[in-house]
Amino acid sequence: MMERKTGEDWTPEHVRRLWTYWNSKPHMREENFSYQVGAGVINFLRLTGRLRGRALDYGSGLGYLLEHLLAQGLECSGAEFSQEAVALVNEKFKAHPRWRGARLVSGFPLPFDEAEFDVVTCTETLEHLSDELLAGVVSEMRRIVRPGGLVLFTTPHAEDLEQSMTYCPFCDAEYHRVQHVRSFTPETMTNLLTGHGLEVLFCRGVDFAEFGRYVTRPRLADASISTLREWLASRSDALLDRVSPRPFPGGRDFRRRAVAGPHLAAVATRAE
C-alpha cells in the first residue's frame, strides 16, 4: 500500500539528502526563492525603515539573500543545516569585510547571543519544519533579535500542498517534491508568532517581484510608456515618503507595491 510521507517522516538525514541533491543541480538553483526575488525582499525590508546594523539569514542556503544584504552595507551572518552549504557560503564571502561567517545549526539554542541581531530573515523555511522544530525556530528568532529589531518570515501563501505531491515508484511513497509539510495563512502565521512573544507588524500575501520593480530607472531603449509611468509613480511615492514619512506599513511606496500575491510575508519585532 502506498505510504504518504508526513512531517514526522522527514528526519534530519532525509532532509539533508534531499537538499544536497537539489543543490547539486545547477538548473534547480534558478528556482531558489532568493535567487528569483531576493532584490524584491531587500526592497521590502528597506521600506520597513529598519534595514540596518547586523543581520542573520537563518536557512541561508547558497547565499543568494546574503549577497543582497551585504550589498546594503549590513554586517551579515548565516545559519544553515547543510555542512556543504555552510562551506560554500563561507568560501564565497570570505573576503568581504562585513561577512561574519555562516554556522552549521542542528538544534537549539542557536550559536548566537541574546539580542545579537538587528535584522533576522527566515525565508521559505517554516513550511519545512516539524512541530517541535517550528516552535524552537520561532522562539530562537525572538531571542536573538534586538528589541526594536526586525524579523522577516516568508512562506508560500496558503499553499495547496496537494498540488506539489509526487510519487516514488521505487519505494511506493508519496511526498511533497520540495519537502513542505505545512501551509500558512495570515491568521495561522500571526497566531504562531504572537504565541512565541513576537509582535506582528505586517502579515499578508504579497508578490515580492513587485517590490523588485521600478527600484532603478529603466533603460529608455527598453522602457514602454507604461513602464516609465510606473517608475515615475514609484519615485513620486518615495519622495513623498521622505518628505512626510509614515510609520510602517503605512508608507506610500510600500502600500502601492503590497499587492496580493503568492508569498506570505510576516514582519515582526520583539515584544517586551
Separation CA 203–CA 209 (nearest Å):
17
Judging by DSSP bridges, how do beta strands 263-270 and 198-206 pair with one another? Answer: antiparallel
Per-residue pLDDT reduced to its tens digit, 157-216: 999 999 999 999 999 999 999 999 999 999 999 999 999 999 999 999 999 999 998 887
Residue 8: pLDDT band with limits 50, 70, 90:
confident
Question: Which one is predicted more confidently, 64 or 28?
Answer: 64
Strands (E), the chain: 3-4, 54-58, 75-80, 99-104, 117-123, 145-156, 165-168, 173-176, 198-206, 263-270
Strands (E), 105-251: 117-123, 145-156, 165-168, 173-176, 198-206
Q: Is 194 helix (H, G, I), strand (E, B) or coil?
A: helix
Query: Which residue bears the cell 502565521?
Result: 189
Q: Which helix H or strand E contains 14, and what residues bound it?
A: helix 12-23
Task: Report the pLDDT value the prediction gives residue 150, as an integer from 0 to 100.
Answer: 97
Per-residue pLDDT reduced to its tens digit, 235-270: 899 899 999 999 999 999 999 999 999 999 999 999
Separation CA 133–CA 209 (nearest Å):
29
